[in-house]
């Protein structure tokens, strides 16, 4: 039996409960990762959509038949498995997609920048986001994730060079918030990812790529903020008892 939708439940928790609900929130432009720690009613008000409409869409999503294997059970994963899943699914995607989008953005600027000054602001926001994300990925891959795997393999508390892993996790969460603000700005600058009348196929593909980037990053951040990081904090606490 599908769970009922509690409109006072936090958006992030609704997605954790049923990951497929993320598709509904993505289609409506409701942030379930960086700003997911608010009730559904508040999230709907921010986006200007009727909560009754969202509940109806969520219930329809819950009722859909789908293969359980399509969506991994993140809650059942251990720290190493979950970390590897994020690396293989989201880091690989970012390392491939960010340079591709940067090249497409430069091509769009050269072709349309003179007649469309707003493109320069879009390019600036995307470039800042790309630089932040690439540094963020490097810190996770070289510092945080190896620490998480070391913690998972230990049967006693570990004193990392950064102290508790909660310290770099706090930094990652702040950077997630910054990425969320940049994504929201990109959404605004692209009119909710709607290609303008003058858009050529290349620019239309760029807009589509930016929207896909947003969707992937939302899922990425949700998995870290609300699944992986709490597991790490709980593990550290358990080993220090």
Give the SS3 label for residue 28.
Answer: helix
Mean predicted lDDT score pLDDT of the chain = 90
The share of the chain scoring above pLDDT 70, in percent, equals 96
Q: Quick one: CA dihedral 230, 233, 239, 241, positive or negative?
A: negative
Structure-block tokens of residue 9: 């439940």
pTM of the model: 0.80
The beta strands (E) that lie in 163-213 are given as: none
User: Residue 9: left (phi > 0), alpha (psi -120 to 50), or beta?
Assistant: beta
User: Residue 2: helix, strand or coil by DSSP?
Assistant: coil
pLDDT of residue 4: 77
* pLDDT at residue 201 in the model: 78
pLDDT in tens, 173-232: 999 999 999 999 999 999 999 988 888 878 888 998 999 999 999 999 999 999 999 999
The pLDDT value recorded for residue 70 is 52
Task: Count the alpha carbons within 13 Å of 84 in the hemisphere toward its beta carbon.
Answer: 7
The confidence band for 84, taking pLDDT boundaries of 50, 70 and 90, is very high
What are the domain boundaries of the chain? 11-70, 74-240
For residue 238, how many other CB atoms are within 10 A of its CB?
Answer: 9
What pLDDT sits at residue 71? 64
Are residues 222 and 89 in contact, defined by beta-carbon separation less than 8 angstroms? no
* CB-based burial label for 24 (10 Å; 0-12, 13-18, 19+): buried
């Amino acid at each position: 039996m599908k769970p009922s939708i509690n409109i006072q439940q936090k958006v992030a928790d609704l997605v954790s409960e049923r990951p497929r609900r993320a598709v509904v929130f993505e289609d409506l432009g409701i942030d379930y990762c960086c700003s997911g720690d608010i009730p559904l009613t508040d999230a709907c008000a921010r986006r200007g959509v009727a909560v009754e409409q969202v509940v109806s869409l969520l219930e329809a999503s819950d009722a859909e038949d789908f293969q359980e294997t399509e969506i991994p059970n993140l809650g059942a994963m251990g720290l190493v498995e979950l970390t590897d899943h994020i690396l293989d699914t989201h880091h690989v995607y970012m390392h491939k997609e960010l340079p591709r989008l940067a090249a497409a953005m430069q091509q769009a600027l050269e072709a349309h920048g003179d007649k469309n000054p707003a493109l320069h602001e879009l390019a600036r926001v995307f470039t800042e986001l790309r630089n932040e994300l690439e540094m963020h990925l490097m810190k996770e891959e070289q510092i945080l994730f190896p620490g998480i795997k070391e913690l998972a393999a230990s049967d006693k508390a570990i004193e990392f060079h950064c102290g508790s892993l909660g310290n770099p996790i706090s930094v990652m969460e702040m950077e997630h918030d910054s990425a969320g603000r940049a994504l929201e700005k990109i959404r605004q600058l692209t009119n909710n990812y709607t290609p303008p009348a003058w858009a050529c196929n290349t620019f239309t593909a760029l807009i589509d790529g930016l929207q896909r980037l947003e969707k992937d990053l939302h899922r990425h951040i949700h998995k870290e903020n609300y699944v992986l990081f709490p597991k790490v904090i709980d593990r550290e606490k358990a080993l220090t008892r």
